[in-house]
Structure 1
Amino acid sequence: MARDGAPFPQQSTLEAVVKACGENPKPWVDAWHRASDARLRPERNGGSKAVQLQIDELTKVVGQLVEQVAMLTAKQNAEDDEVQNQKARGERAYHRLLVNLPEARFTATTWVLREPKSATAPVAYWVPEQPAYESSSVDTLLQMVAVLAAKQKSLPKLRTYLSSPPELEAAEKLRIGIDDHPSNWPAVPRTEVDRYLTEMSECLRRYFEELAERPSHEAP
C-alpha cells in the first residue's frame, strides 16, 4: 500500500485487526512504525537515491509482514485441524459408547402369598419375593435414558440425570389382595435395575474420560 501510494492504514486499525486474529499487536505496531517512517512523502523525495533507499526499506518491512501473515495462517490452520480432530474423536467415542451400552433386559419379579400372621392382619396378600421396583417407574426411567442417549450433545444431561436418578417406586409398598392377580402389578428386581444404572454410569464415565484425553496417533 505504501509503495503504490494507497492510503496508509491507521495504527488503531492495525491493532484492531491483529487483536481480532488473536495475536500480540506489539510486533505488528513496531513494523507499522518502520513502514510509516519509510513510506514516500513529498518532503522526503530528495532524489532517486533517497527513493531507492525508501523502496529497499519498504521491501524489507513487507517481507517481515509476509512472514507474520504466514505464521498467522499456519496457526489458524493448526487450530482448524485440531477442531476437526476433536470432532472426529468425539464421534468415535460416541460410537463406542453406543456399542457398549448395557441392555435393559430385566426379569419379572416373582410374587408370593403372605398368609395372615395375627388378628391385626387377618387377610392374605401378595408381596414380591425380593426387593423390587414397579415396572411403570422403571419404564419411565428407561424412556428418559433412551431420549438423552440418542443425541451426543445430550450426554452431559444424561450423566447428570443418572448421578441423581428419580425416585423409583418400590413394589414392596404394594399389598395385592388375594383376589387380585400379581400379573396385573408387574415389578422388576431391584438388584437388576441398580446394576443397569451402575453400568450406564460407568459407560458415560469412560466416554467423558476419552474426550478429555490428549489426541493419540493410534488408528481409530
Structure 2
Amino acid sequence: MTALVRRAVAELVGTAFLVAAVVGSGIAAQRLSPGDTGLQLLENSVATGAVLVALILALQPVSASFNPVVTLVERTLGRVDTPTAAALVVAQLVGGLLGVVVANLMFDLDAVSVSGHERGGSGQLLGEVVATVGLVLVVFGTLRSPRIETVAFAVGGYIAAAYWFTSSTSFANPAVTVARMFSDTFAGIDPGSVPAFVLMQLLGGVVGAALVVLLHPTPQEA
C-alpha cells in the first residue's frame, strides 16, 4: 500500500468517525435531554472535542487533518503537493458522507434524511470565519511545538470551546458541513445554508493561513 493510499484511508476513516461522533452525539443529546438545548449543545461539544483528541492521537502518525481547509492550508504552506491535497480532500468528503450514514443508522433513522435546520445570517457567517481562523492558528501553531502530541489536545479543546463562543457553533470544516446536511437531527444543516458556510470557512482558511505565515515565517518541513 502506497503512502498516499494510507494517508487517504486515514483521512477517510478519521473524518467518518468525526462526523459519526458529531451527528451521533447530537441525536443522543436530543433523546437524553429533550427540551434543553443548552445541555444538548454541552453533550455534543464534549463528545466532539473528546473524539478529536482520540482520533488525532491515533491517526497523526499517518494523516490526521480530517478537514479540507486544513489540507488546503497545508498545500499553501508547501507541506503537501497538489495531487496529495486533492486525494485527501476527496477522502475527507467521502468519509464525512459515510460517517453521517452510519450515525443515522446507529440510531434507527433513515440512512439519509435531508436536514431542515436553517443556519445563516451575518452573525453566524462571521462566526464561521472566526471559528476557522482560530482552528488554523491552533493547528499550525501547535504543529511547531517541540511536543507534537499537544496538537490533539489543542484542537479538541479549541473545537469544544468554539461550539460555545461562536454563533455558528463552529462547523469550521467543509467536509463535516456537507455531511451534516444529510441528517435531519440536532447537528444537521439545511442544504441551502451550506454554500455560504463553506465559503466562510474557506475565507477563514485564507485569513488563518496568512496569519500563520506572518507569525511563523520560517517554513516547516512536512
Q: Shorter-chain TM-score: which interval?
A: under 0.3
* TM-score when normalising by structure 1: 0.21
Higher strand share: 1
Q: Which has the larger radius of gyration?
A: 1
* TM-score when normalising by structure 2: 0.21
Between the two structures, name the one with larger relative contact order (CA 8 Å, sep ≥ 6). Answer: 2
